[in-house]
Amino acid sequence: MLTSDDNSVATFLRAACAAGRPGDRLPSVRQLQQRFHVSPITVQRVVRALVMEGKAVARPGDGTFVTSGVASPTRPVDHSWQTVLLGRSPEVGRGLEHLAIPRAASTLGLDTGFPDPMLQAQHLLATAAARCARRSEAWDRCPPQGLVELRTVFAAELGGPFSPADVLITPGAQAALDSIFRVLARPGDPVVMEDPCYPGAIVASTLAGLVPIPVPTDEHGVLPDALGDVLARSGARMMVVQPRHSNPTGSIMTSERRVSILAIAREFGCFIIEDDWVRDLDLDGPSGPPLIIDDQHGHVITIRSLSKAAAPGLRVAAVIARGPALARLVSARLAADFFTAPLLQTIAAEILPSAVWQRHLVVLRSALRERRDLLVTELAAHAPQLRCTPPRGGVAIWVQLPAGIDEAALASACADRGVGVSVGNTYRLTESPHGYLRLAFGTSEASSLSVAAERIGSALRSLLDQ
């Protein structure tokens, strides 16, 4: 997808393709650099987009040329037989569809958790990739459980009794959730989830044939008494929690509540799936260790994600588990895709223990803290009717709407003004008396957050005035 920085180059080249004849040579990378004062990477990104669109063809060593632009004649294809064969589409809920929908370059996207490219560790990853790509192990097969070097890094993070043998590498946290739901439960089983909760967990559990069961939460996470009641009534033997910077509310589980949740898991003999999705993004001081640290009986299975702190393309996560559960998950990984890409594992194993990674995290946390505070301040100025408690970490704020304001209508009004937001209904398993928005503060530059807040305020006023 092209960024706003590419627009001038893309507009010029598209016009040249439209006005040119098939075979006409387009300006060189150097010429475009000089004309638009951009980097060669920017020009190459635009050219790749034009080639993918079929407007240009690149000939290495020769140049880039206008294509004929004439589409091959095709006949309409009838795919109705697939509808009959597949039957009714499963109800998987909402929450992830926006990730697959291209948006205009001018849209200020506050509806995704990934920090903008300027905050990502792209240079660090690229430098490590250049070195790692020369190693034979980066391209050879590896154990389904993952490279021992990377598993050693993740085990060392936890310390104590954990070893590389307790770690499984997966291609991202979403793949880890999918495997856990499919392997450690059976279709029709209930699975308890915080309400509200991460929509990707709802989607993955539903596609695995499980039945999500909500348990209420407050600013300190899951309510223990309610959890005990839900487990007793539903018979569920699996729960999914985010003890630190819960998505979307930002809640942090207190030490007392952690003790209660572990005791309840032992009482009912159930698994706790700990989704530690932003372990690296404490913004206001430490938020406590992973829940698995306090688990002595193998009830907790922890998913440790990297993509929010590193970059979306580093599809590497760790699952820390013990006993037969881990053995089953390793077998499932083998059946699904043999192993996670060794090159990505090698890169992660190189950067995670490095001092430069720690420096990246310091800079990232500082930038996110600044943007969080700026967005909260600007919302207070432009939309004082909204209510939120600034989270102590993570990548987004959870905003309560005034009474009578429909969250879908507000999201639509924001979209009309060029701002993408996430509606609260996406994250809930039950009805709520209030509407909510989730607003990510790391996805746009700091200056853009002020503009986004002003537009959100304008959208809100348009509904309040009706």
Domain shared by 346 and 201, yes or no: yes
Q: What is the pLDDT of residue 338?
A: 81
- Among 318, 352, 386, identify where a domain stops: 352
In a domain, 75, yes or no: no
Q: What's the pTM value of the predicted model, to 2 decimals?
A: 0.79
248 with 381, same domain: the answer is no
CA distance 344 to 74: 40
Name 249's bridge partners: none
Q: Does 200 lie in the same domain as 340? A: yes
Instruction: Say what the pLDDT of residue 93 is.
Output: 53
Domain encompassing residue 428: 101-119+358-464
In a domain, residue 77? The reply is no
- 86 belongs to a structural domain: no
Asked whether residue 270 falls in the same domain as residue 334, the answer is yes
Give the count of domains, the chain.
3
> What local confidence, expressed as pLDDT, does residue 1 receive?
46
Q: Which of 305, 327, 352 is the last residue before a domain boundary?
A: 352
**Confidence (pLDDT) at 100:** 55
**Within its chain, how far is the Cα of 238 from the centroid?**
23
For residue 25, the model assigns a pLDDT of 86
Of 331, 352, 373, the position where a domain reaches its end is 352
Residue 10, token pair as written in the block: 């893309």
Are 53 and 111 part of one and the same domain?
A: no
Whole-angstrom distance, CA of residue 437 vs CA of residue 157: 34
CATH of the domain at 61: 1.10.10.10
- Cα gap 306→303, rounded to integer Å: 10
Looking at the fold, whether 147 and 115 belong to one and the same domain comes out as no
Establish if 333 belongs to a structural domain. yes
* Rounded CA separation 17/22 (Å): 9
CATH at 110: 3.90.1150.10
pLDDT at 169: 93
Q: With respect to residue 84, please indicate whether it lies within any of the assigned structural domains.
A: no
Q: Does residue 203 sit in the same domain as residue 318?
A: yes
Write the secondary structure of the chain as one string of H (helix), E (strand) and C (coil).
CCCHHHHHHHHHHHHHHHHCCCCCECCCHHHHHHHHCCCHHHHHHHHHHHHHCCCEEEECCCEEEECCCCCCCCCCCCCHHHHHHHCCCCCCCCCCHHHHCCCCCCCEECCCCCCCHHHCCHHHHHHHHHHHCCCHHHCCCCCCCCCHHHHHHHHHHHCCCCCHHHEEEECCHHHHHHHHHHHCCCCCCEEEEEECCCHHHHHHHHHCCCEEEEEEEECCEECHHHHHHHHHHHCCCEEEECCCCCCCCCCCCCHHHHHHHHHHHHHHCCEEEEEECCCCCECCCCCCCCHHHHCCCCCEEEEEECCCCCCCCCCCEEEECCCHHHHHHHHHHHHHHCCCCHHHHHHHHHHCCCHHHHHHHHHHHHHHHHHHHHHHHHHHHHCCCCECCCCCECCEEEEECCCCCCHHHHHHHHHHCCEECEEHHHHCCCCCCCCEEEEECCCCCHHHHHHHHHHHHHHHHHHHCC
> Are 414 and 103 a contacting pair, CB within 8 Å?
no
For residue 71, the model assigns a pLDDT of 46
The per-residue pLDDT for 153 is: 92
- CB crowding 136-169: b at 16 or more within 10 Å, else e: eebeeebbbbbbeebbebbbebbeeebebebbbb
Q: What is the CATH number of the domain that holds 260?
A: 3.40.640.10
Token duo for residue 221: 């996470």
Please indicate, yes or no, whether residues 295 and 372 belong to a single structural domain of this protein. no
Answer yes or no: is 91 within a domain.
no
Whole-angstrom Cα distance, residue 302 to residue 312?
20
One domain, residues 368 and 339: no
Give pLDDT, residue 94.
58
pLDDT in 10s for each residue of the chain, 466 residues:
445 556 788 888 888 888 888 888 888 888 888 888 888 888 888 888 888 777 888 877 778 888 865 444 556 677 666 767 776 666 555 556 555 555 666 677 878 878 888 888 889 999 998 998 888 888 888 888 889 999 999 999 998 789 999 999 999 898 999 999 999 999 999 999 999 999 999 999 998 999 999 999 998 999 999 999 999 999 999 999 999 999 999 999 999 999 999 999 999 999 999 999 999 999 998 988 999 999 888 899 999 999 899 888 889 999 999 988 898 998 888 777 788 888 999 999 999 999 999 999 999 999 999 999 999 999 999 999 999 989 999 999 999 999 888 998 999 998 888 888 988 888 998 888 889 999 999 877 778 889 999 999 999 999 888 7
Residues 36 and 162 in one domain: no
Q: Are residues 324 and 194 in the same domain?
A: yes
Does 293 fall in a domain? Answer: yes
Residue 83 lies in a domain: no
Residue of 445, 449, 382, 352 whose CA lies nearest to 128: 352
What's the pLDDT score for residue 2?
Answer: 46
Do 138 and 61 lie in one domain? The reply is no
Q: Give residue 188's pLDDT.
A: 93
